[in-house]
Amino acid sequence: MFKTISGAPAFAILAAAALAASPALAQERDTRTTGVSYQDLDLATEAGRAELAQRIDDAARQVCGMDERSVGSNIVSRESRDCFRAAKRELEQHFAGVIERRNHAG
């Protein structure tokens, strides 16, 4: 799994690339990108941080294909689960820094 984020004043971008299912196609990557908006949130409040946590979860689920299922299966792939955990961890670390900077600024 490969994922990366970069911050912007209004939102962070989350990108995830999953290795193709077939070993023969292992060099191909499927890259997905989505944004996490937080400019409208008051991150100094518990409600603002809870909404941000939900947006992070939704973005990670979307970009990692957590809601996509293979034909004939309701099981989420291991790659999707690994991507989801890594993407959430990276976004949570990113936004911890955003919240800390906002707390110190005002």
- pLDDT at residue 50, rounded to an integer: 95
The residue extents of the domains of the chain are 2-105
Mean pLDDT by runs of 10 across the 106 residues of the chain is: 40 54 46 85 92 94 83 81 90 88 77
Q: In what order do the strands lie in the sheet with 29-37?
A: 2-7, 11-19, 29-37
Would the pTM of this model clear 0.75, i.e. be above it? Answer: no
Give the containing element (helix H, strand E) for 33.
strand 29-37
- pLDDT at residue 16, rounded to an integer: 59
